[in-house]
Amino acid sequence: MNIVKQGEKSVKSTEIAGDVVTKQHVTLNHNTKADYQLTWRFNFEDVTREELLLVASRALVIALRPEFKQAATADLESWDNRTFLVREYLDSERAKVDDSEKARRLLSKLSPEQRASILAQLGE
């Protein structure tokens, strides 16, 4: 397990081999305030389709909650009794991650001072 320092490259990947999904990712530990490069394997052997759908829907709820939290008051009603087409969601998520989105995500991890410093450098 490695600590990923600010600005250091990290590996983020997903591999599927049979019933095992391997995810390489970086996660912040609140106690150490450090980002760690982690490799986690999820073995789906003996998991039923129903159980898989339950796990997937939990992940979707977690992913979609921030959008609801940011929704305008006039749009709140449209979020109730809603059916999400997972294929459309997956396609839209894939399309969203362009260079601007990647930069936004990276900048969001920085302190306000670090962001201001970088943006000032870009303005020069």
Helix (H) or strand (E) holding 22: strand 20-29
The domain total for the chain is 3
Q: Which domain holds residue 20?
A: 1-46
For 41-83, the pLDDT digits (tens) are 999 999 999 999 999 999 999 999 999 999 999 999 999 999 9
How much is the pLDDT for 123? 82
Calpha distance 53→50 (Å, rounded): 5
**How far apart, in Å, do the first and last CA atoms of the chain sit?**
38
How much is the pLDDT for 97? 64
Of 67, 71, 70, whose CA–CA distance to 92 is shortest?
67
Q: Is residue 124 predicted with pLDDT exceeding 80? A: no
- Do residues 40 and 71 both lie within one domain? no
- Do residues 9 and 38 both lie within one domain? yes
Q: Is residue 92 predicted with pLDDT exceeding 90? A: no
- Do residues 110 and 100 both lie within one domain? yes
- Do residues 38 and 68 both lie within one domain? no
* Non-local CB neighbours of 56 within 8 Å, separated by 6+ positions: 86
Contact 17, 34 (CB under 8 A): no
- Do residues 2 and 42 both lie within one domain? yes
